[in-house]
Amino acid sequence: MLAMITVEALTKTYGRGMTAVDDVSFTAASGRVTGFLGPNGAGKSTTMRIMVGLTPATSGTATVGGRRFTELPNPGREVGVLLDASAQHAGRTGREILTLAQRTMGLPRTRVQEMLDLVSLTSEEADRRVRDYSLGMRQRLGIGTALLGDPHVLILDEPANGLDPAGIRWMRDLLRGFADGGGTVLLSSHLLHEIEVVADDLVVIGNGRIVAQGTKAELLAAAGTVARARDTAALEQAMRHAGLAFSAHADGSVHTDATPDQVGEAALSAHVVLTELRTADGAGLEEMFLELTADTQREGAAA
């Protein structure tokens, strides 16, 4: 069964007029990994909490396969959720936590060991109390709990926190395989490189509002063009003459929303020798993210 996550005009306000989520709309499609990005405090976690019924919306809806999470008869069999790996009961063992979830969902007992094997928790680790787990082990346990009911949708908030490089690679392969098998993945993370590697679609939020959304290729392609020349001043003059808006950077590069073809033609007409001409997506997701959320960044906002 395929299920799309649909968020429509979602708004959440608190006392004294504080708006955490402001008219947010987007979809996460089946068979794809959707990266949900934004600075701290942008509204990512609040949106995800509303999706899974932990926080009531002021207005708007969030549905999975056309139904609200609270309307699902056995939610864990349809939606796997990991919002806070540190929220697990510290006095129970990992095996006990999985066993309780297995019984609640009415699953076979064999499913517990299957999940422990899947997330690479050894028998010794599974029988250790969660208070003695590292953050990475808690993340693995949380992912195992999310996958326990064999859901077709995953909603994960910062699931790679605390994982070492090998664990991050494992997580990436797991999510890619889940989506390739027809599952729906909504993934929030501040690890932009990992999002860039695994995501098919991106939703960027800042100050509670969506500032960009689309396929990864579309958003990165929209980042514009970077050019360098032996004579930077001559390049800038050529671009002015061609009517191309640009910004000059201290490293000698010139950034513009114009296409590489337009910049190349302007340079050729002015007999300017270019030493670099490329789309800005070579700088990757981080540059695009910082540009889209510049007004919401705590650090470097003045710049």
The mean-pLDDT minimum among 22-31, 142-151, 276-285 falls in 276-285
Here the tokens at position 292 are 């889209």
Neighbours of 205 (CB within 10 A): 27
Do 171 and 270 fall within a single domain?
no
Is position 303 within any domain? no
Q: Helix or strand or coil: residue 209?
A: strand
Is position 171 within any domain? yes
Is position 297 within any domain? no
pLDDT for 216 beyond 80: yes
Is position 21 within any domain? yes
CA distance 99 to 112: 6
Contact (CB, 8 A) for 262 and 242: yes
**CATH code of the domain covering residue 242:** 3.30.70.100
pLDDT for 18 beyond 50: yes
Give the domain extent around 233.
Answer: 224-283
Neighbours of 131 (CB within 10 A): 11
Do 80 and 111 fall within a single domain?
yes
Q: Residues 6 or more apart from 284 whose CB is under 8 A from it? A: 192, 193, 196, 220
Do 195 and 251 fall within a single domain?
no
Is position 298 within any domain? no
The mean-pLDDT minimum among 198-202, 236-240, 275-279 falls in 275-279
Contact (CB, 8 A) for 145 and 98: yes
Confidence of residue 230 (pLDDT cuts 50, 70, 90): very high
**CATH code of the domain covering residue 83:** 3.40.50.300
Is position 290 within any domain? no
Is position 94 within any domain? yes
Confidence of residue 300 (pLDDT cuts 50, 70, 90): very low
> In this predicted structure, what is the pLDDT of residue 303?
35
Q: How many domains does the chain have?
A: 2
Mean pLDDT of 140-146: 96
Do 49 and 81 fall within a single domain?
yes
Do 174 and 273 fall within a single domain?
no
Contact (CB, 8 A) for 133 and 142: no
Is position 294 within any domain? no
Tell me the residue length of the chain. Answer: 303
